Structures are given as C-alpha cells and as structure tokens.
Amino acid sequence: MEYIFNEIIPTYWKQGYFWLGKQKRIATVTDVKFLSDNKLIVAHRAAAKLYLVQINNNTYEIIDSILLQIDSIYFHPDLISIQNNRIYMTAYTNMSCIVDIIDNKLNIVKLMKIDEYVQYHGCLVMNNLIYYGGVKSKDKNTPLTIYNYDTNQFVNIKLNHNKRIKTIQVVNNNILLGVDDKVSDATIFDSWIMYFKLQNNKLFLLDSIHIKNSQID
C-alpha cells in the first residue's frame, strides 16, 4: 500500500513539513474508505489526489486517480466520507470538495465553502446531512457545522470551547465526537471522546472520556 502512493510531492504543496516533537513529516495518505469488499478510496493530502483502488488476490491496482484542482486552486484532502458513490472531503480549511464515482471514474462535482471564518477537519455524511467538525475559528469557539445537501442550508452548532473536532460519528441518533486540545505547547495534546444528544440545533453532553497525552486524528 505504501509503495504505490509514494509519490514525489509537487511544488504546489506549500504547507511544508509537519513536526511531531523532533520528527518532521509530509502528510501523504490521510484517509481510506471501502466502497465495496474489493474497492477503496484513498486520499493523498500532499499530492492533492484521490485514488480508486481495486484489490485482487492481495495485490493492489489503481484503476483511477484524480488531481483535486479547481481552476487554480489545489484541494489537499484530509478526511473523507462517502454516501451513494459521492465523496465529501475536508482539508483543514473552510472549503469542502465533492467528487462523484461514475463507472469507476472519479469526477469533481464542486468546491464548496463551508464557513467564512472556520477551518474544518472532521467529516461525516449520513442521510443527506454532512457533518463538518471545526478545528479553528475566528472567535475561538469551534462549531459542529451541519449542511443539508437537499436544501443547501448550513447550521452552526457551538460547543462553547476551542477544542478541535477531529472525528465525527452518529450513534443511535446522537453525536460522537473525537476532540483534542493543546496542553502546554504545539506537540503535547490531550484528547476527549464526547457523546452528545442533538436537540433543536443544540448539543447536550451525555458522557465523555478524557485521554491524556494523546492526539486524536
């Protein structure tokens, strides 16, 4: 798996290295989702690409790939979520990219602004609702943003803290979030698993677990 995605990083990757303690790295494969028992979607952040991969008897074949470029903008995917052969992505920016899978081909649908002042990481699509988890905002209050694809409407739900929403899941019609926050410097984090009831566009905390010295992704 690692070999076939070991691409030379193009010049349009301008973010440079990430540092984890004293170790530096380039963000390459950031998410993988199964389409079926033998097909995968793979997001390559630095290369700004998506891959459609077929698994055959423990070997891997890239049957399609697409450069996520819209006009002069490169979209570097972070997390992805899939429903009905449509892929939704975040990029740690205020934008989301949407790609369709048609006849084993990847096709860009559009690049969509989620919010003017929020950057997003968490991503989940379920029942035509797209959940985006904020990681950075202008007012230091990261929201859970829900987009209704049918009505083209956004709802921002404040969590009243500045923790980063890294992962999202819906369980029994409730919202399960994986969040993290800096403890002392840029390399030390604590994380929380938080379970909320969503009612009238407000989140009510049902339970949480605090995980020290860890970073959820």
Separation between Cα atoms, residue 45 and residue 15, nearest integer Å: 11
> Is residue 184 packed enough to be buried (19+ CB in 10 Å), middle (13-18) or exposed (0-12)?
exposed
Residue 12 has pLDDT above 90, yes or no: no
pLDDT attached to residue 186: 61
Taken in order of first residue, the domains within the chain and their CATH numbers are: 3-113 (2.40.10.500)
48-99 pLDDT per residue, tens: 999 999 999 889 999 999 999 988 889 999 999 999 999 999 999 999 999 9
Residue 76 vs residues 27, 50, 69, 197: alpha-carbon distances, Å: 10, 10, 9, 32
6 pLDDT tier (thresholds 50, 70, 90): low
Separation between Cα atoms, residue 115 and residue 132, nearest integer Å: 10
Question: Which value, to the nearest 10 degrees, does the dihedral of the CA atoms of residues 132, 138, 141, 145 take?
Answer: -20
